[in-house]
Every structure is written in structure tokens, then in C-alpha cells.
Structure 1
Amino acid sequence: MTDILPNLGPLPALAGLQAAIVDLDGTMVDTVGDFEVALNAMLADLGRPPIGRDFIERTVGKGSEHLIRSTLAQVDADASLYEPAWLRYQFHYQAINGRYSTVFPGVPEGLQALVAAGLKLACLTNKPTAFARPLLVAKGLDRYFACVFGGDAFERKKPDPLPLLRTCEALGSLPARTLMIGDSRNDAQAAHAAGCPVVLVSYGYNHGEPVREVPALAWIDRIDDLRGLGLPAAAAGKARC
């Protein structure tokens, strides 16, 4: 069920949108399987025990550096192993990127609805760009996006507002008219600080916290639920960054 804040009704603010920024992991694609395989292969290379999916779901979303450092701490490995761990993680992740992940229901339909409404779309993720682009291609989602920015694209990552502000600049859209679609407190905090309206999906990786406790315009169970929340009616072509 889609939840809407009672004082907003059908979200009339969405009618004036120029663009949308969409998160990747936990919002469009369930990538825990990829993380599990790559991280545990990395740990095996380092002679360390494996970690479980519950830990991964609580930890992803803040970038690869945070993920690897948290993983090393979880298995009581010395922080000095970060550099070799990062190299092994990159090797394993690139080898399996997308193989153990699935697109969440309603994502292609939701992205198509946003494009049909005339919005320019960008994917903004804390995942490294070199991992994000191939994943979108592998899942057939790349065609919806004018540009893709990973966690290494800017000086700071979400929840800092800088990546959203820079993405709005690339899209040529005003922050107040650029919808952020994400799955976590990171996405919401970045959007609020940047002045972007934000809608959160109910199924993602919100660091083990209930996502409906995070302030947002609405919480939706599928991205294509946006079709009923007042998207612009006019169609336009997709711009390139």
C-alpha cells in the first residue's frame, strides 16, 4: 500500500516537475546477492570468515569505502587490510556485477512513466560509477537515464546535498522541481538539504530502520505507483547531460 502524508493529498507538487533523480541499490535493483558474493570472496582471499545478508542489508548505501571498512570491522580484521580488501573486492564485484541481483517489480514501468511525463532522469548512487553503469546496462535500465553519477563522481556522497545539486545542474533542472526517489535516510537527508522533494520506496536498505519513520512526501511500494500521484501530463524528449 502506498502511504501519502494526509495534508498533501495527491501530491500536486509533482505536477510541476522538470526532472527526477533515482537511487540504484535498494531502489531500482536488489543487489544484496552481488554484495554477498563479492564481499565473501574478498574475505576468503584475506583468510577471514564470511558475513551474512542481514549485515549487508544494514550496511550498504553509504559507498564502497564504508561498506568494506564496516565489513572488516565485522570480522575483527585490522583496518590496515583496507587497501588489499578494496582491490580484491573490485576484482570480484566486476566479475559478477548484476549476476546475483534482480530488478524490483514496477521499476521499468515507473521509469517509463517518468520519461513519458517529460521528465529528464538521472541515476545518482553512492556505488562507484564503474559498477553502476554496467549494472544498469545489464538490467536494461540504462536507456531511461540522461546521465549516471556514482559515489566517486563528486567530492562528497549522499547524504551530503552536493551530489543532488550537481546532478540538478547537469539535468538543467531546479532542485525544487527535481524529484528524488530513494530507499533510505541517506537519500531523504540529501534531498531535504538540497531542496528537492523526495519519495521513498518501502522495500529498500534503510540501514535496518523503518523507512516510514523517515520524512518524505510519500512512501511507495513500487516506483510505478508514482503514476497515480500527479505526474506531469505533457510528454517531451529525453535530454542528455
Structure 2
Amino acid sequence: MSPAPALIFDLDGSLIDSLPDLAAAVNRMLATEGRQPMAPDQVRSFVGDGAKILVARVMAERGIDMARHDALAGRLVADYTERSAELTTVYPHVHETLETLRSDGHRLGICTNKPAAATASVLDALGLAPFFDCVIAGDTLAERKPHPAPLRAASAALGVHGLFIGDSEVDARTAEAAGLPFLLFSAGYLRVPRSEIHFTGVFDDFRDLPQLVARVRALT
């Protein structure tokens, strides 16, 4: 039998519900600018393409001069990194499922657009870091998802053909560009109708993931 495929995960909206901390950081930034706070659902609609784009979308929505983008993005990233696990939670059954997948022989990785410092902070705080053999963050390479380079780098680091597991249209596009099967976690931050993206399988309960991976493995 061929080696167990590597399993590469997106982070925000895929393994963790980070929206509460992201929204809190956005609203602390807005408060310093004398602007009204944003509801979490509005922040959710801006998430998925990295911190700089998130800040740009928030600034445009609140009419803040884009000349201040670099300063505000730096401020938000530093603030969020310090407080990235105050309100963030791991989705149900993630820890036990990652343990099962590792026991089944899968090497595990992360491919996220979150900056590396914030990624490391939240993985450590939530007890997820020990599960992963590699982490490719939003500032690890010059390119970010949906460019295929980060996902290809994660796959190369793990040394075996893999699957990508994520929650968004950005993740679906990344997997397609990298030529990897994509498994959709449907309880995350998808911003478009499911019919608009390509995926090999879908799940909304992490307890179903090992069986789904086994079915996909049998077909490839």
C-alpha cells in the first residue's frame, strides 16, 4: 500500500474559530481611530486573505485614509499576536481527530495566511502545535494563498503527496492551483455558495474526517 497521504490544514475557520479574537482586535484598532466597532459577522466577511487585506477592507468600510494602512496593519498584527487565544476556541473533536490521524500514519501540516508569529502563538496556546510537522504561514514565503506556492511548500516539507483541508473559497482555489484534492470543512468561514467551489469531499464534524480521508485515499 502507498504511504498515508500528508494532511495539510488551513487554520482559521478550519481548525479554530478565531473570529472572536479577530473581531476584538479589529474593534480595538477602530477605537483608536475614533470609529464605530464592527459586528463579528461583518469581520467574518473580510477574513481569509491575510491580515493586511483584512485591515484594508476594514479601513475602506470605515473611511480611514489608506495612507495609514501599513501603520494600522502593523498595529493590529502586533495586538492580535499578543491576544490571539483569549476568545479563540478549537472546533469540537479536533484534538482527538488529529491524534487519530497521526496514529493512522499521516504526517500533518498547516498552510495559513495568518502571520507566523500569530500562528505560533495560537497553536501553542491551544495545544495544537505538537501535532504538526510543518507550518507554512502567511509571511513564510513571498506568496500567500491562493497562490499554490505555500501549499506546495508544505507538501514538499512533509515529503509525501497530500490532501488539503480548509473552509473557504481561498483554500479551494489554492488546492486546485496546487493540484491537490480538497476537503471542505463546511462549518467554517466560507463566503460563497458551496456550488461555486470545487472539492473532493465535505464534512462538518471532525469525527468524520478519518473515514473521509480513507475513502479519498482509496480512490487515488
Q: TM-score, normalised by structure 2?
A: 0.92
Question: What 5-or-longer segments of structure 2 have no aligned partner?
Answer: 216-220
* 1:218 lines up with 2:201 in the alignment: yes
Which deviates the most, 87-96 or 63-72? 87-96
Structure 1 unmatched runs, 5+: 1-14, 233-241
Alignment deviations for residues 52-111 of structure 1 (CA, whole Å, 9 cap, x no partner): 111111111100111000010010111111122123212321231111111111211221
Aligned counterpart, 1:193: 177
Residues 86-144 of structure 1, C-alpha deviations (whole Å, 9 max, x = no match): 23212321231111111111211221121111111111100001000110111111111
**CA positional deviation for 1:188:** 1.0
TM-score when normalising by structure 1: 0.84
**Counterpart Cα distance in 1 of 2:154 and 2:211:** 26
Contact 1:17 1:179 in 2 (8 A): no
Secondary structure of the residue aligned to 2:49 is coil
Q: Please name the residue that 2:24 is paired with.
A: 37
Q: Distance in 1 between matches of 2:200 and 2:184?
A: 8
| Aligned counterparts of 2:176 and 2:75: Cα–Cα separation in 1 | 36
For 1:235, the equivalent position in structure 2 comes to none
Tell me the CA shift for residue 230 of structure 1.
5.1
State yes or no: 1:129 paired with 2:113: no
- In 1, the alpha carbon distance for the partners of 2:98 and 2:195 equals 22
Greater Cα shift, 163-172 or 83-92: 83-92
1:217, 1:57 → 2: CA distance? 25
Shift of 1:16: 5.8
In the alignment of these two chains, the number of paired residues is: 214
Q: Any idea what SS the aligned residue of 1:89 has? A: helix
Contact residue 166 and residue 185 of structure 2 kept, 8 A: yes
Equivalent pair of 2:136/2:153 in contact (CA under 8 Å): no
Match of 1:53 in 2: 40
The correspondence for 1:142, drawn from 129, 136, 155, is: 129
2 CA distance for matches of 1:221 and 1:210? 16
